[in-house]
Structures are given as C-alpha cells and as structure tokens.
A and B are shown apart, each in its own frame.
Chain A
Amino acid sequence: MFALVDANNFYVSCHRAFDPSLKGKPVVVLSNNDGCCVARSNEVKALGVKMGTPWFQLYDLAKQHGIIALSSNYCLYGDVSLRFMRILAQFSPVQEVYSIDECFLDFTGFNYIDMTGYGQTIRQRVLQWLGLPVCVGIGPSKTLAKLSNYVAKKREQHQGVFDYSRLSQQEQDELVSSIEVGEVWGIGRRLSERLARQGIETVKDLRDADTKTLRRQFSVVVERTVLELRGVSCLDLEEVAQAKKEIVSSRSFGKLVVKLDDLQQAVASYTSRAAEKLRRQHSVAGALQVFLQTNPHKTGELQYHPNILIPLIEPTADTGLLVSHAMRGLKRIYKPGYRYQKAGVMLMDLSGAKTSQPDLFSHVSTQDRQKSQRRMETLDHINRKMGRGTLRLAAEGFQHTWKVRTDYPSPCYTTRWAELPIAYAK
C-alpha cells in the first residue's frame, strides 16, 4: 500500500505560511525573471488563469481583481520542502521524495489501522507545524495513490484524504469512469490524444483495456500503468534519487542581451553551476550543448534559436575545461544583431566519475587528472563553506547586467538572519 502526500499550490502556500496577509487573496508566483505563472492560488485558478501564462498577459486581469504577483523565492521553498519531507518521514519507514512538494510513503502492513484517519493526522501535522495545506492519496499502487491524491484535491467532500482501497468494486468503477485518462500518472497530453483515437477516454477505459494490445501499440510503460490501475503494484519506491542523465542550466535574462561579452559571462556561470551539480552526483560529462534564444513573444523581432553540440574526447567534470568548451561553442553560434533572451548549457552523456574511460591517445596525464580533481574538490569545498560563487572563474565576470530580474521579491524568512519574519508587539 502506498500514500502520496502532495502540497496544495506549494509555492503560494509557502509565502502564505509567513505572510498571513496573502490568505484569501488571489496570488501568483512567477518563474525566473518574472516570466510566467508557475503557481496559482485557488482564487487565481477560479479566474481561469492557466499554469504557465506569461505575466505580461495578465496585467489587466491583475489590476481588475487585485492579483498579487510574487517573484519565485527558491531559498524559502527549498527550506520548507526539507522540513515537509522530514515531518513525513515520521509517518513511514520508507519514503520517496518525488519532487519539491510531493512524497510517496510506503504503507505496507498498515492495513490494520484506519488509513484515512492516519492520512488526516498527516495533514493536520503538516498544517500545524509548517502552515502548509496538503492532500493525501492512498492506494495499492503508486499510480492509484497518485490518482487518489487527485481525487482528494479536486473533490472537497473527502477533506483532503482519499483511500482507494476502501472502495467497493462498484465504487471503484464509478470513480474511474468519471476521470479523464489524461489525469493518470505518466499519461501525458500527446499519449492521451492517441489513446482517445482508440476509444480510450476515461481511466476506466484504460484500466479495462487489453494489456497485450496496448503493449504492442504503445509501450511496456503503458502496459505497466494499466496493471497499476488494476491494483497490481509494479513500481517500487525509489529511496535514493537516481543520478540525472543530463544536467541543464539555463536562465532567461533580466533584460535582452546583445553583446557577446555578456553572453560569455552568462554561459560561463551557467556552465560552472552545471559542473557543480555534475560533481555532486559524482559524474563526468561526455558532451556539452550550448544554446541561445531570442524572445519568441516579441513577434516583430528577428528570431534566432541556435544550438551546438560539443562532444568531448575525454569525459570531465572540470569547471575550467567545461567552460572553455562552452565558450568555444558559444563563439561558433553567436551572431551579432539579435537580441537574446535566454542562454543555457546542457551537460550530456553522463557517466560515473569512477567508471569513466579515459582516452587511450589522450595527452592528459594521470597526474593532470588528479590535479584537476583536487582543484575541483577544493573549489566545491570553499563554495560550500563560504557560499555559492565565492570562488569562481574570472570568465563569469563581475557586472552581471543580464542577471535575473525579480520585481516582486519576498524575504528568505527561514534562511537569512536579516530577513526573519517580524513579530509585531504593538
């Protein structure tokens, strides 16, 4: 048996937990550079604002309804998420942190207790300890736990907790025939369109479809989903996060950038950041991609979206090497005369640092390799201790005129002494 605990409108709720004046008001949280909505309070959802709507398209609606916009505040979300996961760890010996605001718990052997009541205890505790509203979905497979979470969230009569395993066969049938197939975990928009063409529109249609046919027409993943919907657990909890297959570091600029100089600084710092992540998971990269983008929303402007892939002869995690490759790539794709909105790098073809194969004809000696490794260890150590970016390459520059724009900042309530919440004594 599994439970999925998922925070409601997580980013918005984090802000509300420390700023009660936001309660009951329409609030959106904007992506990096205040680009588009990445979280909406229920009041905003009720206005019909879709996820990912660009903020500039909402100016009029915001004025009309008093929508409050907030720039994203990742130091706050990160700390609240950490606390959230630690609280959940009290409720089961096995947990899988699925995302910043979602966590699976293993409820195997919990059948003798009232799981709905247990779910309510979880909700109550997270709400009291963190001020965070959450929903709990319970089911015999991860897919059903996720579906139950959807039900707990959308249908208020369940008060935030829904246990699929308590339903009779008939109740199960009624429920799954009332939900569209696109709500099932792992069934994306494109897949649900393809399924609809086969006459599979509701969750029930999918659950009762022939697995062999689906496997032939789609994939073994879809077949597995069907089995999970039937209550056969095929997916175990992943307690240790899998090492990433690729690492992307990209940002939109605070304002459009034209000069190669500025792009170089930005790409150098994104590469450093990606290299840091790469080393944290003890991997090396075998290839690197650099990309640039102009602003697609500026319809009158010349558009240019180039990218370049640079295969590395010898996989590496050395910031200096990766940055110099990225600079080479950037120079190749950069064209003057465009106004760039975004740049980024992707580290690909990742493998374990311990198991990676050096090149037979490489001119890099073992000694050099060891030196590079020590240099990176020192770099990471200093930056961990003194704060990110304390020690960095000169290529990353000092001015950073392209830096992220945050027009609606909020305090890092829990991670900075200077920004603690105020307790008024008046």
Chain B
Amino acid sequence: MNASLSTFIRKPGRAASLANVVVLGQADPTAKRLRLSLFLSRISAGFPSPADDYVESRLSLDEHFVQRPEATFFLRVQGDSMVGAGIHDGDLLIVDKSLEPRHGSIVIAEVHGELTVKKLYRKNGEIALLAENPAYRPIPVNEESQLVIWGVVTEVVHTLR
C-alpha cells in the first residue's frame, strides 16, 4: 500500500476498518484516460462528422427487457429442474408480476412457502406445475384457488463466463 495515498474507498456492505480498505489508485497527472463522447466531432477546426445527425441514444438493456419496471423483479435460480427450458442453476430470471399466466407460461409459483420456477399446465380444467427435466415429477394442483402464481418469467440471463 502506498503510504502517501490519502483516498480510500470502502468495499460496499462491509464495516470499514483499515483491513478491508481498497486503494483507489495513484493520482498520476500523466495518466491518460479514454473518454467516449456522444458527439463524434469535438475538434472545432475540423469538418463536422457526417454521422452527427444520426447520433442516437445508447441501447438500454433495462428498456429492452423490462416493460413494467414497477412490477419487475430479478430472481436467482437454484436447482436444475428447468434445464429443458434453458434455465440453469445460478441463472438470473426477469419476472414480471403484472402479466397474466397462461397455459405453457414459465412461472414463479408459491409452493410450500418457497418461490419455485415451473411451467404452468392449464388445460381442460386440469392444472399442474411441470418441471422441464425428466428427473422431476409434475406437481398436480387440485384446485385453482390453492395455486398462487407469484409472477411470470419473461427472460433468462445465463452467464457464460
């Protein structure tokens, strides 16, 4: 640790003590930093960039994946009963509680006090929660009133590294 440094940053969620202080970095006046600007032509002496008129705002994943921010929540998957639907252990689920569950929807259901990810089967008056892995049996639901659907899964985020 460089003794001359006076700037510290605390790691979030930890009590501050010198033991877990992280050095932000040395204040080096010669260090160069790349800055990307929304406008491409900043040099007044040059020609304006022909792309300037076409600059649009950056793409936002939030906007793309979250239609109703008030009703959207993220959940973490634990277990492998849904691998057939492309949902793996540790994946992130985007769940929209405002959507109506339909036959075939991937849903979060409340089962025995836990939030469980399942595929909803609802056809010809028959209701069940299905796994997407032959090793797991479906959970039959006797009465619709007994089934509490917490939300509808709209996306899965699977990290590859």
User: Chain B residues near A87 (CB, 8 Å)?
Assistant: 70-71
Q: A20-B150, A128-B71, A400-B15 are in contact. List 12 more A-B contacts (CB 8 A).
A: A20-B114, A86-B69, A387-B12, A414-B74, A420-B92, A423-B77, A424-B78, A424-B115, A424-B116, A425-B79, A425-B80, A425-B117
Whether A20 lies near B113 (C-beta < 8 A) is yes
Contact residues, B84-140 vs A (CB, 8 A): 87, 89, 92-93, 95, 97-98, 108, 110, 113-117, 131, 136
The answer to whether A23 has its CB under 8 Å from any CB of chain B is yes
Number of interface residues of B (CB under 8 A): 40
Whether B150 lies near A131 (C-beta < 8 A) is yes
The answer to whether A83 has its CB under 8 Å from any CB of chain B is yes
Query: How far does the Cβ of B26 sit from chain A's closest Cβ, in whole Å?
Result: 18
Can you list the 7 inter-chain pairs with the closest CB atoms, starting with the nearest? A21-B113, A425-B79, A129-B71, A426-B79, A423-B75, A423-B117, A425-B81
Closest chain B residue to A23, Cβ basis:
B113
B residues with CB within 8 A of A:
9-10, 12-13, 15-18, 68-71, 73-82, 87, 89, 92-93, 95, 97-98, 108, 110, 113-117, 131, 136, 148, 150
The answer to whether A410 has its CB under 8 Å from any CB of chain B is no
Whether A128 lies near B78 (C-beta < 8 A) is no
Whether A425 lies near B82 (C-beta < 8 A) is yes
User: Chain B residues near A414 (CB, 8 Å)?
Assistant: 73-74
The answer to whether A78 has its CB under 8 Å from any CB of chain B is no
**Max chain A Cβ within 10 angstroms of own Cβ: one of B76, B81, B148:** B76
The answer to whether A52 has its CB under 8 Å from any CB of chain B is no
Whether A423 lies near B17 (C-beta < 8 A) is no
Complex Cα distance A22/B113, Å? 7
Closest chain A residue to B79, Cβ basis:
A425
Q: Which of B9, B10, B97, B114 contacts A130 (CB 8 A)?
A: B97
User: Chain A residues near B76 (CB, 8 Å)?
Assistant: 420-423
Whether B97 lies near A20 (C-beta < 8 A) is no
Contact residues, A351-405 vs B (CB, 8 A): 386-387, 389-390, 398-400, 403
Q: Mark A63-84, 1 if CB is under 8 A from B, else 0.
A: 0000000000000000000010
User: Chain A residues near B17 (CB, 8 Å)?
Assistant: 398-399
Q: Which of A86, A413, A426 contacts B81 (CB 8 A)?
A: A426
User: Chain A residues near B73 (CB, 8 Å)?
Assistant: 413-414, 421
Q: A130-B97, A422-B115 are in contact. Are A20 and B68 (CB under 8 A)?
A: no
A residues with CB within 8 A of B:
18-23, 83, 86-87, 125, 128-131, 386-387, 389-390, 398-400, 403, 413-414, 416, 418, 420-426
User: Chain B residues near A129 (CB, 8 Å)?
Assistant: 68, 70-71, 97-98
**Max chain B Cβ within 10 angstroms of own Cβ: one of A18, A420, A425:** A425
Closest chain B residue to A17, Cβ basis:
B150
Closest chain B residue to A85, Cβ basis:
B70
User: Chain A residues near B68 (CB, 8 Å)?
Assistant: 129
Complex Cα distance A20/B115, Å? 7
User: Chain A residues near B113 (CB, 8 Å)?
Assistant: 19-23
Whether B71 lies near A425 (C-beta < 8 A) is no
Whether B78 lies near A423 (C-beta < 8 A) is yes
Q: A400-B15, A423-B115, A426-B136 are in contact. Are A128 and B77 (CB under 8 A)?
A: no
Whether B87 lies near A420 (C-beta < 8 A) is no
Complex Cα distance A169/B81, Å? 61
Whether B97 lies near A21 (C-beta < 8 A) is no
Whether A398 lies near B136 (C-beta < 8 A) is no
Complex Cα distance A263/B51, Å? 60
Can you list 30 contacts pairing A with B, beta carbon distance less than 8 Å?
A21-B114, A22-B113, A23-B113, A83-B69, A128-B97, A129-B70, A129-B98, A130-B71, A130-B97, A387-B10, A389-B10, A390-B9, A390-B10, A400-B15, A420-B74, A420-B76, A421-B73, A422-B75, A422-B77, A422-B78, A423-B78, A423-B108, A423-B115, A424-B78, A424-B79, A424-B114, A424-B117, A425-B79, A425-B131, A426-B78
Query: How far does the Cβ of A203 sit from chain B's closest Cβ, in whole Å?
Result: 35
Query: How far does the Cβ of B27 sit from chain A's closest Cβ, in whole Å?
Result: 15
Query: How far does the Cβ of A317 sit from chain B's closest Cβ, in whole Å?
Result: 23
Whether A20 lies near B71 (C-beta < 8 A) is no
User: Chain B residues near A390 (CB, 8 Å)?
Assistant: 9-10
Whether A425 lies near B78 (C-beta < 8 A) is yes
User: Chain B residues near A421 (CB, 8 Å)?
Assistant: 73, 75-76, 115
Query: How far does the Cβ of A397 sit from chain B's closest Cβ, in whole Å?
Result: 9
Closest chain B residue to A19, Cβ basis:
B113
Query: How far does the Cβ of B145 sit from chain A's closest Cβ, in whole Å?
Result: 15
Query: How far does the Cβ of B152 sit from chain A's closest Cβ, in whole Å?
Result: 11
Q: A83-B70, A86-B70 are in contact. Are A400 and B77 (CB under 8 A)?
A: no
User: Chain B residues near A422 (CB, 8 Å)?
Assistant: 75-78, 114-115
User: Chain B residues near A426 (CB, 8 Å)?
Assistant: 78-79, 81, 116, 136
Query: How far does the Cβ of A7 sit from chain B's closest Cβ, in whole Å?
Result: 14
Q: A420-B74, A422-B76, A424-B115 are in contact. Are A20 and B81 (CB under 8 A)?
A: no
Query: How far does the Cβ of A159 sit from chain B's closest Cβ, in whole Å?
Result: 17
User: Chain B residues near A125 (CB, 8 Å)?
Assistant: 98
Q: A129-B97, A422-B76 are in contact. Are A20 and B16 (CB under 8 A)?
A: no
Complex Cα distance A128/B30, Å? 56
User: Chain A residues near B81 (CB, 8 Å)?
Assistant: 425-426
Whether B75 lies near A420 (C-beta < 8 A) is yes
Complex Cα distance A359/B158, Å? 62
Q: A390-B9, A426-B81 are in contact. Are A398 and B18 (CB under 8 A)?
A: yes
